Structure 1
Amino acid sequence: MTGKKSISIKHFLRISLAVMLLFLFIISTLYYLFIYTFSRDQFESSFQTFSESIEAQLDAQFRNVEHSVTQLSYFSNMQEILFSKKPLVYLNNISGCNQLWGYLKTSLPIITDVIITSPYGHTFYSGTTGKCRYQKFAEKIIQENKNMSREPFFLTIPPEDDSNQLPQLVYCFPVYNTLLSGYISDEYALGMALIDVNTLVGLSSSEKYVGEIKAILYHNNIVYISREVSQLEMSALHKRTPGKFRIGNVEYTCHTVMLENIDMSMIDMVPTANLLQSSAQIRIIATTVLLGTCACLIFSTWLIQHYISKPINQIIADMQDIQAGIRKSLTLPNLSDLRYLAESINQTLNVLDIANRRQLEMSHTLYQTTLAQKQAQLNAYKNQINPHFLFNTLESMRSMAHHYQVPILENMLTSLSSLFRYSLRSNLVVSLKEELNHVQHYFNVMDMRSPLRYELRVDISSKALSHSLLSMILQPIVENSITHGFQRKRKPCILFIQGQVNEESGILLLKIADNGIGIPLEKIQEIEQRYSQEGEALHNDHIGLDNVLRRLHLFYGKDFRFSLRSQENHYTVITLYIPNFPSEPSR
């Protein structure tokens, strides 16, 4: 019969490895296309999106500046300081103004200092140094802008001495008198809020690109710049051109945030080649992880193939050796699943081996039994007429003894006739009572041969009398005791038979004891050894005992047990443990 085509585990693992490598190759290709083809546009787009968000953040910061200075300027204490002509008004209100300023500065750190100059000579200044400089600058602004618009504006204060310093960005705003019932347009104070440029720069991206230039321009004045620049780079900053352009051999990507209402711009120029360098480490790590994953998968697949294929090949080789008869069991592998499989196969092989040996032994036993049965049939045919002749002869002799009035001879012949009749015509299994009757006839014959030499004592329970057992068991043991145990023994020669049934197990405990010369220890060991070795020849002086033990063992099997105890010149005791029914014969 042709079965379905199968595949070995080794080939299956190799195919799985090839499919996995193909899958990894596809993933690697897609990864390359994404990282090196699309990531540039993605980073530029993200950079543009962040730059555009700067404008919204700047608007929010400047609205907060306007709100804070308005809240400070039109505070009642501040109005008293700015527009009251009383001499002690400054001292009475400056504390409350300082407290309000401390709160506002904590909530809005973009404002470093605030100076408000009153037309009446009172000036509020939040700082500790530079008050005169800023006050003079405020007076200059008022003189140059007598008709100043009511709208606030930004300007820059140039550096005082050092030309390397950056200009100061200032938010200028008018403060009107609210102490009177109406606004007086010509009566106002000038306020200036000094802006922290570093805070504005902090709104830009946290990414650091090689060659990056960050700058803040106000009216074409560079308020802040992140590094020294060349003339060409300075020119590009003043142009504020967004997009890509080239300076020399370097291409730049420029993003500009313009606040047209205050004419301020935030410019971020990054070399295009370096735009993706910030993600180089991420790409290297991702590539390393991908290659490491591939290596680990390949190595793990090889390990799986090695640790699975090796024990499987060993099992196959062991099975071939078992089929060839070289070995009888499998080598146990380390893998738990395969180990369980090998143990199960070994158990099955062991069971099959035991069954095979039992089959051979049963075949041998059957052959021996059949041979013995044939021999018995031949003996039966041969001696078929002998028992009839023997019984007739014994009956004639008993009649003659009765006629001539010889009662001793008559009793002997009666017992002898019963002995032969029981030996030849009894059933295979009889009751203990029938066995005891048979023993009594035998003892009568022996007592007539040696009057008053032997004494038979019997202690059998009523339940034990009805217990079944194999026929012709007691007489050979009794004969063995009389023939050998009492051979050199002076009277009284006592033979004791005791029998009782165990209530729980139903086993008959049959004990036969005599006070004869005993059996040497080495002969007891020899009897026990021959009992355990089937087929051992019987060549000692206790053939009757050997035959009884073998018959009981063959008939009752493993359920039959016996014990033999003896002390030379004192006693011999044999105890038989006979079950109710025979079990399977032992091997």
Structure 2
Amino acid sequence: MKGFFLQSSRSLKIQLLAAMIIIIITLLSLLGVTNYCIAHKGILEVSTSYNQQLVEQICKNIELYCDEVMRQTDSLANQSSIKYYGDYFNTVPSKETKDDIKKVLFQTVVERSDIDDINIVHNDNNLVSMFGLYDEETLGTLCNYYGVKDMYLNARIIPIITTNKYGKPTLSIARSIYRPDEMQGSKYFIIVSLDINNINSILNSIYLGEGAGAFIVDAQGKSGNIKGHNKEVEQSILEQVKLHKSSKSINEIDTILGKKYLVSVNPLNQSGFRIVVYNPLNNLTKTSENIGRFSIFIVILGILVASALTLYITSKFMKPISQLVHHMSKISTGNLKTIDVKQKAIEMKILYEKFNEMILDLRELMKDIHEKNKLKRKAELYALQTQINPHFLYNTLDSINAMAALRGEKDIMQMTVALARLLRLSINTKREFVSIAEEIEHVKCYLKIQKIRYADKFEVIFDIQPSILNYKVVKLILQPLVENAIYHGIELKPTHGIITIRGYENEGSIYLEILDNGIGVNREKVNEIRQRLKEDILLGNCDSVGLYNVNSKIKLYYGEDYGLSFESEQEIGTTIKVMIPKMMEVV
């Protein structure tokens, strides 16, 4: 996507449209995801709360069922035929027989079809059994789970799931028939066993959804109804429930066999039994899934609508820019017509006005170029007309030299020879670069002429390292600087002057220095000259014009890193330093 925006071939309209669509998609997607997350969280909280209420209602139904059976158990325990059976508990022999007790028990069984069996147990021995479905070991375990003092006032649910001789799981309720102080060390219990399928019926009476279920777990972690297509799920949940020994309610989301379930565990009326209800999480979040699909639909619809609006807006916005680009493309064909400014937007109005200004400037520039070309052409023609043949000039100087020799004018001879040499380098337009040795020779020719003019006004000292003589330098840069030293330093000095010309190399550069002990300049003038050198101001008619022209020439040929530096002190003298790169060959 980053490359898409960086491609130069893409128009601004396409880039703007793409950027707007991406922003819209991002914002709407974030809005949709946020809306879905909030809805999902709220629905999950409500569904979890509702699920917990169902679990509590199931527990209450089971507790009511058990309370009713416990009341009947209490009633049986207080029956005289049971309480005073035989001569185990009283000194006066009772006339009650087992048949009398069975009649009472049978009447109870007839009234309640959910009772599996009723047993009267004395000291772990089964005295009376309605159907004889349990052995004495099982009955003894049930009687001894609680002490007599815990079961003589009210019947208690024994938190152990047992099985009768046919393998049917049952839940038992026990009651001590006598108080501990009446037992004289003996134990006398009535045990009512219930078919656990009645509990399962209550557990399954409320439909929780597809794949959901419930089961009861005793104090030993045993369940009474793990079966059917959810057997593996219930077995896995049972193993986790065994690890939780807490008597408090548990309500959490667990992953069972790769699927998430909401598992609720509630204790059953402090009996030691726990009711476990599990429900696949997707049963609870179906509504949020519908909301999610609706959110996706809204996001897609919003993207389509927003994209259409964005396309319309960008097209309208880009139209004047496209028109301006069209007019600009015509410039390359020579069409320099201005365009009408009819834009309402301030920015576009300014842009169109600036375009017209540019067109007008181009017209003026082309006009100026045309005029300059005409002037240049005229100058070239004039130069051709007025060009002096160098050989004619050299021959004339040779004639003057010969005449001076005949008359014995040695000074004139020296001046004409020096001038001839000076002109040979100056007039030669084919060579822009010369060796430093040639540039020094050119300066010496110039100084010969000046020495004749100024006689003994000054002397010149050359201090040039031989190692730099073969390096190339743009020609005619030292003579103007020496001339500057003579006219602005030495000429106005009342005493004898000295000009020193130095040349040396240092760290990849060559330095040429012209020092004089002339009158120098004040600090204000020094700062002005330095500023002009820094700004590379090329002046045609002012003091020290040669200085500025040489500086511009060096920068033109070598770059901004090279040029002149200027030092001067009034009545002490001036130093001009030239810095150029080392060049053996001209590139």
What TM-score does the superposition give when structure 1 sets the normalisation length? 0.46
Between structure 1 and structure 2, the one with the greater Rg is 1
Structure with more relative contact order (C-alpha pairs < 8 Å, separation 6 or more): 2
Calculate the TM-score normalised by the size of structure 2: 0.46
